[in-house]
Amino acid sequence: MGDRLRQIVVTVFGVALCLFTVIEINYPRLQPQSALALFIMMGLVICFLETPLHEKLKDWTPSRILDGVLALAVVVSCGYVVIQLEPSFSDYWAGGESLGDRAGSETRWDIAIGAVGLLLVLESTRRSIGWIVPALALVFVAHTYYCHASIEYDWPEMPGWMLPHAGQSAGDIVSTTYIQTLGVFGPAAAVMFKYVFLFVVFGAFLEMSGATQFIIDFSERVFGGSPGGPAKVSVLGSGLMGSLSGSAVANAVTTGTFTIPMMRNVGFQPHVAGGITAAAAAGGALVPPVMGAGAYMMLEIVEPNVTFVQVATAAAIPAILYYLSIWMIVHFYSRRSGQAERQDDGGDRKQLSKFEATVFIGALVALIGLLLDSYTPFKAVSGALMVIMVCTVFRRELPLTTRTRVFAILTFGVIVVANQFQWKWSGWLPADISSLLAPYQPDAWTDPSVKAITRRAVMRSLLKSAILGTTGLFVFGLCQRAWRPSMLQAMARAAKNGVSLVAASACVGIIIGVVQQTGIATDFSSVIKGVVATNLLLALLGIMICSIILGMGVPSVVCYLLMATLMGSLLGELGVIPLAAHLFIFYFGMMSMVTPPVALAAYASASIAKAKIMQTGLAAFRFSLVGFTLPFMFVYRPALLLMDKSKWDAWSAARDQGKLGEAATLLKEAQAAYAPWDELALAVITAVVGVVALAAGIAGFCRKEAGWLQRAMFLGSAGMLLYPELWLNVGGAALFAVSVVLNSLSPESPTSAPMQSPATARD
C-alpha cells in the first residue's frame, strides 16, 4: 500500500471514528455489540496502517503490504459480527438466528472468524503498547484451555496453587472472548467507546480552539514572578490541563513543550525540569472533572454501582493534596537553589486572551454543570464539545471569512431549531411531557408539581439538538477548505491518541472474558487473602507493588482493569469501602507513569528536556513522592474522600449478615452522606501539614536550608502526620513545629549556584 493511499485511508478512518463515536453514543441506532465492533474495527485499521510490524521494517514494501492485508482482515472479522447481529442483515444470519442467539451453538464460520479476530487483536495490541498485555492474555487463554484438557484429554493436573478449574475448549474460548459480549466487545471496550474516546476527542478540539495556550499563559501570569516560577507554571498548568485531558503522557507533552524551556532558561537542570513536568503531568489523571480512563471503568466495575459525580467528588481532596505537595517541593527547592523572585513590572507577562479564556472556562463550566445536573459523562462531554465548536467559529486565528462564520452559526442554529420542531411533534418524548412542551406553556413553569420535569425535559431536548448541531459543525468544517486542515488535524490526533486505548481495551477484554467465565478471580482473591490473612496493610502493599510493576509495561487504565478484576473484591472483604479500594488501585496505576525504570510520562518529558531518561525518572519519582502515600491515607481515613466511614461500616455489616433490605437502605444513606466535619477537618489539616513537612524534608529547605538532622526530623514528622492515628498526629505536629523553629534559628548557609535535583542537592 502506497504511503499516500495509506494516509488517505488513515485520515478517512480517523474522521469516521470521531464522527461515529459522537453520533452513535448520543443517538444509538445499532446493537451495542455492533457499535463496539465498528468502533474497534476503525481503531485497529488505523493501528495496523500507522504502526509497522517492527520499527526497522516500516519502509519495507512487503511489510507494508502485510499491514494492508491485516487491516482488511480486521474489516472482515469485525464486519462479520455487525452483519450477524444487525436485523437489517437478517437474510445473511446463519440458521436464521443472530449471533447473540447462537451462544453455545456457534457455527464453524463463527469460530474461524472469531479466532482470526482474536489474533488480530493480540497483534494490534503488541504493536501499539508492547507485548506484555498480549502475553498476559495468552497466559489466561492457555491456562483455561489446559484446565479443560486435563479433564477432557487426561493431561496432567495443575497443582492447587495454579488455581485449576473446569476450563474451556478452544471453541468456547473463542465464543467467550470474541463472539459474545464478555470479551473483546465487552465492558472494557464499552467504557472506551462510551466515555474515554469522547474525552480524547474533547481534548483534541480543546487544543484546536487555543484554550491550551490560555492554561499556560494563565499559569505564568499567576506564578511567573515567584521563586521557581516556571516550575510552578508547570505544576498549575498540568493540573488545569489534566482536569480536561486525563492523560499523563499527553499532559507532559502539551505543557512540557512550553514549560521545560522556561525552566531551563532560569537555571533548572534538564532532568529536574523534565522530572517536575512528569510528576505534575502524572497527577492530571487524578484531577476532576475528567480524570483518567480508569475513572470511567469504575462506573462499570465498582460494586455497588457509583456515579461519575461520586467518583469525581471522592477524588477532589487527594488531587489537591497531590498538587499542593509538588508545588511545595518546587517552592522549597527553588528557594534552596537560590532562585530569587523575578523583579518585573508585569510588562513581560503575556496578556491573557479573552477568547481563549472564554473557551476554556465555558467548556469547563458546561462539563461540570452537566455532570452536577445528573447527566451522564458522555452527555456532559458532548455538551462541552458543543461549546468548544461554537466558540471556535469565532476564533480570529481561524482563516475564515465573515460570511463563512455566519453560515457556520446558521448551520448550527438551523439544525437545533429543526430538531426541536421535530421532537415537538414526533412523539419522541412521553405524551405527558410532550403536551407540556408543545407550546412551551408558561403555566407549566409556574406549577411546582410539573416545573422540575418540564425544565428537565426542555434541557434534555435542547442538549440533544445542540449535540446534533455540533455534528453539523463538524461536517461544515470538513467541507470548508480554510477550516478543513484544522479539523482533520484535530480528528487525526484524537484517533491516533485513542488507537492504543482501543487495542488495549480489546485485548484486556480477552482476559476479562476468561476471568468472568471461569471465576478464577474469586479463587485468586481467596489465595491472596490466605496469604495476608486479615492484615489490610500487607494486602495494600502487595497491590501497590503489583500495580507499579504491571503499570511499567502497560497503560495505567489496563493496569487498573487487571488489578481491579483480580483483586478488587479482596479489599472489600478486608473492610475497605468499595470506591476507596478502586481509587487505591487507580492511583498506583497512575504512579507507574513516574516510577523508574519504565516511567512513560518521564520518558516523554525527558525527550523534550533533552535529558537522560533514568535521571529524569528518578527526579519525577521524588517530586511525586506524596502520590505514593495518599492512597494509604484515604483507605485508612475515608474522610479524605468525603465519605462517612461509620455509615459504610454499618452497610458492610448488614450485607455480611444477609440483611438485604436493611443493607439497601444503609447503602443509600452511606452514598448520600458526607464525612462529619470533625473527621474531615482532622484528616485535611493533618494531611496538609504532613505534605508541607514531607516537601521540606525532600527539598532540604523550609525557612532556611536544612541539614541532614533537620531533614530527618521533617520526614519523621511527615510520617507521623500522614499515619491515621490521632496520638501520632499530635506528636508529628509537635515535631514539625520544633523542626521549623530549629530551622529558623539555624545560621544562614550559602545557596548553591547551579540548580540540582532533590536527590543530588548538597546539604
Please give the mean pLDDT across all residues of the chain.
83
What is the 3 state secondary structure string of 312-360? HHHHHHHHHHHHHHHHHHHHHHHHHCCCCCCCCCCCCCCCCCHHHHHHH
Instruction: Say yes or no to pLDDT of 554 above 70.
Output: no
Contact of 735 with 311, CB cutoff 8 Å:
no
- pLDDT band per the 50, 70, 90 thresholds, residue 247: low
Q: Which class for 49: exposed (0-12), middle (13-18), buried (19 or more C-beta within 10 A)?
A: buried
CB atoms within 10 A of CB 151: 13
pLDDT in tens, 625-649: 888 888 999 999 999 999 999 999 9
Query: Taking residues 667-679, what's their average pLDDT?
Result: 91
pLDDT in tens, 86-110: 999 999 898 888 988 887 888 999 9
Query: Taking residues 249-272, what's their average pLDDT?
Result: 80
Residue from 633, 551, 621 nearest 584 by CA: 633
- pLDDT band per the 50, 70, 90 thresholds, residue 170: very high
pLDDT in tens, 280-322: 888 877 888 777 667 777 888 888 888 888 998 999 999 999 9
Buried b (16+ CB within 10 A) or exposed e, 20-29: bbbebbbeee
Q: State the DSSP string of 284-306.
A: GGGSTTT--HHHHHHHHHSSS--
Distance CA 688, CA 318 (A): 10
Q: Say which DSSP state 701 is in.
A: B
Task: Pick the most confident of 119-123, 413-417, 601-605.
Answer: 119-123
pLDDT in tens, 36-81: 999 999 999 999 999 999 888 888 889 999 999 999 999 999 999 9
Instruction: Say yes or no to pLDDT of 763 above 70.
Output: no
Instruction: Say yes or no to pLDDT of 425 above 60.
Output: no
Contact of 176 with 117, CB cutoff 8 Å:
no
Distance CA 374, CA 372 (A): 5
Lowest mean pLDDT among 235-239, 357-361, 553-557: 553-557
Reported as half-sphere exposure (CB side, CA atoms, 13 A), residue 572 has a value of: 19
Contact of 203 with 306, CB cutoff 8 Å:
no
pLDDT in tens, 471-497: 999 999 999 998 999 999 999 888 887
Domain boundaries, the chain: 402-482, 644-675, 681-763
Q: Can you give the pLDDT at residue 749?
A: 58
Q: Can you give the pLDDT at residue 113?
A: 95
Q: Can you give the pLDDT at residue 412?
A: 93
pLDDT in tens, 24-39: 999 999 999 999 999 9
